[in-house]
Amino acid sequence: MNVVFAVAGVVIKEMYRRKDFYVLLILTVVITLLMGSINFFDDDKIARYLKEVSLMLIWISSLVIAISTIARQLPMEKESRTIFPLLAKPISRAQLVAGKFLGCWLACGIALVCFYVFFGCLSYSRERHWFLLNYFQAATLHWAMLAVIIGMALLGSLVFAAPSSNGTICFVFVVGILFIGGHLHHVALAMTEPGRAITTAIYFLIPHLEILDVQERVIHDWPLIDWLSWMIAILCALAYAAVFVFFTCLLFRRKALS
């Protein structure tokens, strides 16, 4: 495990040396504050609108950070040929994959803390109430969703030719799941065989990321999610992430490096 954490530490340092996170955080803050400067007769709906804009920017920024960071990890190591001295040390390919995944996921968790602290301060400045448990549930479910996406993009980095194509395909796939993934079973009912069976199978196989999206609950200050349901959702997301990492290890073990 020490080797895995050492690789993860390198990924975290590399991510925060790059300017991606800082640029996205500053853009989120500036755009949100500009939107917040608009005040229409102290209407309480403006606060909800501002929270919606802020959360949307946070979700977009987190997706960009997670996918762009993990998609270039293994290809960059191979292109710069640093992967050879890495594997020459007492480190296996599986440990390298696990370290890359863990480092990116922890780095995204640190980024989410910064984003949600800003969001909490913004909400308090408008509503004068703290909903800390609501924000905690939203942030942890968001982080669990990023674990699935990072695992997916890590696997894609071995399948697709370039990090750019991998990132684009993963982003489109994630957006598709968030918007239509939960409705595939309804679509299947209107289809004929074998399309119905294929669509139903896809519905049950894909990770339902929309379950982890609780933006509406935070925006409208709805009651807390049942803690058992919250825990089950996180465990399911981590199980999907583990499956992606497992298949990445299998594929990476068989892949030629030269």
CA angle 218, 65, 11 (to 5 degrees): 125
One-letter amino acid at 50 equals L
Spatial separation of the C-alpha atoms in residues 18 and 64, rounded to whole Å: 13
What does the alpha-carbon distance between residue 131 and residue 121 come to, in Å, rounded to a whole number?
Answer: 11
Lowest mean pLDDT among 1-15, 99-113, 199-213: 1-15
Residue with tokens 């999206």: 213
Q: What is the pLDDT of residue 38?
A: 58
Q: Which long-range contacts (C-beta less than 8 Å, at least 24 apart) are formed by 42-47?
A: 46/126, 47/123, 47/126, 47/127
Cα separation, 101 vs 187, in Å, equals 34
pLDDT, residue 41, reads 45
Provide the CA 97 distance to its chain's centre, in angstroms.
17
Q: Where are the domains of the chain?
A: 2-254
Token pair recorded at residue 113:
């803390």
Q: What is the mean pLDDT of residues 224-239?
A: 94
pLDDT of 43 reads 55
Q: What is the pTM of this model?
A: 0.91
Amino acid at position 98, single letter: A
239 pLDDT higher than 80: yes
Q: How many CB atoms within 10 Å of residue 20?
A: 15
Q: Which residue has the higher pLDDT, 20 or 69?
A: 69
